Structure 1
């Protein structure tokens, strides 16, 4: 009986550790295109590395952002690449930061691969507590019904 309970608990943990997000917009093009789906592994800020493609809860003004995704429940998320972590020097062009500033604790600097992306260049630091996780795999676009 205990073995079954442990297996069920492990299955639940595995199921909730990854999320599929459908990308809307071109902020990560050409790496990830509009309409593609990606697998996101939930990760805390401490496990994030510079260069990771992450999914974060968007700021209030996300309607203007050309790089967001939704999970299967329709919740909106920003899909961006990490360019600086807490304690690192702030990259040039980050909104609200000076040339000698460092990224504050609990924050990230993120940018879309597309230069037209609305990201830290416009919004400054993204709070790490808005982080869903890292993109671990592209699934491509969903198949059309009957295809």
Structure 2
């Protein structure tokens, strides 16, 4: 009898520890803008793993506002979702050169990322320039939303506390 109670108690404590660790590492975010459409559409929910390291091609959620905006662009929603297209040391993509005032062939500086929306309507590094890497909340691990068969454009994602992202 006591051994069964001990096993149950250990399992309850273990489940609580796993829940706390998961809550610190994972965040659910709801997409609210069209910038990542058709990959992610308004209302889609995505699971984000908090991390400081990202790879080219990954979709990231990041803090987009500052007192003066992300770079020189207009203020945006508190969180945004975009795809990483260049990392520090990578050549600055041609469609971003003008926004960052880079010379052709220049590399992305340390502690900066180039992020671009998948959709045709996206304010991103092509407009605002480099994203400071320290603004990244985490990497999208997977979509938690089922997608209808005919994708429609939609707005960007909400933040880690459930507020919409741009």
> Normalization by structure 2: what TM-score?
0.69
More strand by share: 1
* Counterpart among 38, 43, 56 of residue 50 in structure 1: 56
Deviation sequence 1:82-134 (CA, Å, 0-9, x none): 00001111111211222121111111000000122000000010001000011
Once the two structures are TM-superposed, the CA of residue 137 in structure 1 deviates from its matched residue by 1.1
2:30 matched residue in structure 1? 22
Runs of 4+ in 1 over 3 A off after TM superposition: 6-11
- For the aligned residues, what is the CA RMSD? 2.2
Matched, 1:13 2:21: yes
* Counterpart among 102, 106, 113 of residue 101 in structure 1: 106
- Name stretches of at least 5 consecutive residues in structure 2 with no aligned partner: 1-9, 147-166
C-alpha distance in 2 between matches for 1:85 and 1:49: 7
* Counterpart among 39, 44, 47 of residue 36 in structure 1: 44
Distance 1:139 1:13, change over 3 A: same
SS at match of 1:132: strand
Matched, 1:115 2:149: no
Deviation sequence 1:15-46 (CA, Å, 0-9, x none): 2100001111110000000111111001113x
* Structure of higher RCO (CA pairs closer than 8 Å, 6+ residues apart): 2
Q: Which has the larger radius of gyration?
A: 2
